[in-house]
Amino acid sequence: MGLGCKNAAGGRISRALRLLVLIVLALVTIEYVYGWIFGATYIRTYLSARLYNITQFTFRDNETQIKNETATTRPLPGTLCDLTPSGLGPVRVNKTEVELASLENKFPEVGLGGRYTPPNCTPRHKVAIIVPYKDREQHLAIFLSHMHPFLMKQQIAYGIFIVEQAGSKSFNRAKLLNVGFVESQKWESGGYQCFIFHDIDLLPEDTRNMYSCPEQPRHMSAAIDKFKYKLPYQTIFGGVSALTEEQFKKVNGFSNRYWGWGGEDDDMYKRLNAMNYKISRYAMNIAKYVMLDHKKSAPNPKRQSILKQTDKVFKEDGLSTLEYELIKMVRFQLYTYLVADIDKES
């Protein structure tokens, strides 16, 4: 009788276990197909947003667009995209100002939030393009108008993130890039493996300049028209640069301490150097960029003295100490728009 009891209890437990397994499987399937659970704003925010005080979200809640988005961001399993897609080469840069609104219908292939996945092959790279932004409205449309067709030709999966600085302090490019790194990972199911940190006033002139991450960090904007297509100095890492998630985390991201123009890119160079990375570059005839006109910002007078401390302090200044408040997140048709108050010293 004792045995019978045990068997009955055992049966109940195993039935309960089977039910549990079924429920978990169902949840995993739902997550996989729809990205609902970890895609859900509140759970995600709760799970990954301790330091980051998120006060407001603005989603475009549009059934049609969401459905289309699912179609464009989930590649069908199949053949890998070509390592170097055919038809790559020099492209013209059109610097004519355009209306942002007039662009919205020009690129129907691009999914909500400026995200794209090649339709006919499985992309080898999933790339977040992080663009720090402040008072450059005239450049935004020109940038998007150039970059979307450029990137689509390369058959990569990508998302464009425009990170705007709120608050009252002077521009802090590096801290905005850190914010872009954290936020782009948070909002994309599966995350990104490759990050291109991109000034908005630089437009690439050759599609052989692949927006991907090689084994070593890549400095991409080596040849800029304003500098007569010459490398200004050997250790330069500013303008446009590519780092894998692993590389970025190993060097603790960018410094948060550079307010005003300059220094933060040299700081990143020192971090990479300290972690034994070697900078790679494309040939100068491929790494070509056009720079859009703008007034030069005031240099940060403290940049040299902060730079002297990099080797000693970089593990305590960067991603690990990043503090900001995300004020806004909107998925527009051609880009994901993030506004962050980064005034807090850290």
Interacting residues with ligand NAG (CB under 6 A): 53, 55, 62, 64-65, 67-68, 94, 96, 98, 108, 325
Residue 271 or residue 331: which is nearer to ligand NAG going by CB? 331
Residue 287 or residue 329: which is nearer to ligand NAG going by CB? 329
Query: In the bound complex, what is the minimum distance in angstroms from residue 58's beta carbon to ligand NAG?
Result: 14
Residue 35 or residue 149: which is nearer to ligand NAG going by CB? 149
Query: In the bound complex, what is the minimum distance in angstroms from residue 313's beta carbon to ligand NAG?
Result: 26
Query: In the bound complex, what is the minimum distance in angstroms from residue 278's beta carbon to ligand NAG?
Result: 39
Residue 61 or residue 316: which is nearer to ligand NAG going by CB? 61
Residue 110 or residue 213: which is nearer to ligand NAG going by CB? 110
Cβ burial of 35 (10 Å; 0-12, 13-18, 19+) is: middle
Residue 106 or residue 249: which is nearer to ligand NAG going by CB? 106
Query: In the bound complex, what is the minimum distance in angstroms from residue 66's beta carbon to ligand NAG?
Result: 9
Query: In the bound complex, what is the minimum distance in angstroms from residue 68's beta carbon to ligand NAG?
Result: 4
Residue 64 or residue 234: which is nearer to ligand NAG going by CB? 64
Query: In the bound complex, what is the minimum distance in angstroms from residue 46's beta carbon to ligand NAG?
Result: 12
Query: In the bound complex, what is the minimum distance in angstroms from residue 180's beta carbon to ligand NAG?
Result: 20
